[in-house]
Amino acid sequence: MAWGGNRWSAGSVRLFRAAMTAARAEDAGKLAVHVKMKYGREKETREHSEQRSRLRSVCLRYGLAAVIAAAAMGLRLMLSAWVGAELPPYITFYPAVMLSALLAGFGPGLATTALAGVAAAYWILPPGGQFLIDSAADRLGLLLFSAMGLFMSTVTACYRGNLKKAGAYDRETAVRASEERLRFAMETSHVGVWSINLDDYTVVRSREHDRIFGYAEPLPDWTYQTFLAHVLPEDRALVEDKFRRALQDRNDWNVECRIRRADGAIQWIWMSGRQSSDSDHARRTMAGIVQDITERKQAAESLRQMNDELERRVAERTMEIQKARETLEQRVAERAGEIRMANADLASSRRAALNIMDDAIQARKQTEQTAEKLAQQAEALRTSNNELLRFNRAMVDRELRLIELKKEVNELRMQCGQPPAYKLDFEKDRNSLS
């Protein structure tokens, strides 16, 4: 039963794949029909535009031939009026034919030759005023002029053709050199070139294209389905959607996707293409390049991982800085509290010191006041003492004078034979007074 179930599952998967392939083919067919109708209308419009451009170019070239022939005829008439009738009849027409052939090509050169011949036959060659030429020499001259005009137009056309070939060769050489440089640059940068036919979806590509997909040698055939087979299923829907939109809108196709190489390795590629068509718009193509961008994607992934790692480290460092900041703020808050307490203690000590200073100032003031009072009292005492000393000195002087007077009285009485009236102990009294 299990084996039967596996076979049924495998058959269902194959049926589903076949249905998806058929749906893609139907969508591609509808898209191709739509694009063909769109290109058909554009082709008709471009054909009408090109026809109008070609007609305008022919009119301008042959109009220029007629203008040059008329200018040559006018110059011939002016020179005839100045020099005389003996002026050669075709002297101004040869340069006109050469100039017309150089500027406008072989046909306009022949047209200028014909117009110049008609003008010469009608206005210049006798008898004049008619196309009948009497002289055989004049007819021969006209024939030779026509032959020379044909010859000059032919030579000028060959010259113009050689110039175009030389220009084309130079352009081809430049393109070949540019292609060589481009090929070298693409091989050096590992860029493959491809071109897909939008009618049958076959692809023409370079060797580097197949190398990117893991093939040492180019495959004999490559189609759009071959490319899709290499795209991983996860990216295939995106690739098909962008390709379909590019075809519908006629825009460039740019896509980045993962592929599985022939050797099984998975790599990133970038594809870019631009649509174009041939001159008649019957064949539509899209040409572009493919490049292996695995290293760039890996570098981008490494850069993304480095950015993620850097962001993670920055986040961790930010958390550490935040924690350190919180710790620092806590320490600062604690230190600020200690400083406030110290400031409070310092303020208290300062107030106490100020109070002590105030008390000392008050005590000093009181001491100064007391000293001043003591000084005043001492001065008063000194004054009183001086007064007492003066009084004492005055009293002593008075007593000494009384003693002297008593002594004189006693001496007078003794001279009179009378006894002394006063009993004097002079030295004792003197010492006591002193």
Q: How does pLDDT run across 160-207, given as a tens digit for each residue? A: 889 889 988 888 888 888 878 877 777 777 788 899 998 888 999 988
Give the residue among 140, 156, 89, 137 at the shortest CA–CA distance from 116. 89
pLDDT over threshold 70, residue 17: no
Are 287 and 274 within 8 A, CB to CB? Answer: yes
- For residue 269, the model assigns a pLDDT of 94
- For residue 227, the model assigns a pLDDT of 94
Per residue in 41-97, pLDDT (tens digit) is 666 777 788 888 889 989 999 999 999 999 999 998 888 888 877 788 888 999 999
Residue 391 CA, chain-centre distance (Å), reads 119
CA distances from 244 to 31, 33, 82, 247 (A): 8, 13, 76, 5
Q: Considering the chain, what percentage of its residues have pLDDT values greater than 90?
A: 31
Lowest mean pLDDT among 150-154, 180-184, 239-243: 180-184
Q: What is the rounded CA–CA span in Å between residue 145 and residue 97? A: 10
CA distances from 211 to 206, 221, 260, 263, 321 (A): 9, 14, 13, 11, 53
pLDDT over threshold 70, residue 279: no
Q: What is the rounded CA–CA span in Å between residue 270 and residue 258? A: 9
- For residue 280, the model assigns a pLDDT of 59
Q: What is the rounded CA–CA span in Å between residue 10 and residue 64? A: 77
Residue 130 CA, chain-centre distance (Å), reads 79
pLDDT confidence band for 289 (50 / 70 / 90): very high
When pLDDT is averaged across residues 134-154 and rounded to a whole number, the result is 90
Give the residue among 301, 226, 294 at the shortest CA–CA distance from 258. 294
pLDDT over threshold 70, residue 304: yes
When pLDDT is averaged across residues 98-110 and rounded to a whole number, the result is 91
pTM over 0.95: no
pLDDT confidence band for 434 (50 / 70 / 90): low
Write out the two tokens for 406. Answer: 């008593």
Architecture of the domain made up of 190-292: 2-Layer Sandwich (3.30)
Are 367 and 401 within 8 A, CB to CB? Answer: no
pLDDT confidence band for 15 (50 / 70 / 90): very low
Residue with tokens 């493919």: 290
Q: What is the rounded CA–CA span in Å between residue 139 and residue 117? A: 10
Lowest mean pLDDT among 10-24, 202-216, 232-246, 359-373: 10-24
Highest mean pLDDT among 114-128, 259-273, 349-363: 259-273
Q: What is the rounded CA–CA span in Å between residue 103 and residue 69? A: 13
Q: Where are the domain boundaries for CATH 3.30.450.20 in the chain?
A: 190-292
pLDDT confidence band for 235 (50 / 70 / 90): very high
When pLDDT is averaged across residues 395-406 and rounded to a whole number, the result is 80
Q: What is the rounded CA–CA span in Å between residue 371 and residue 10? A: 130
Lowest mean pLDDT among 105-119, 261-275, 417-431: 417-431
Are 312 and 234 within 8 A, CB to CB? Answer: no
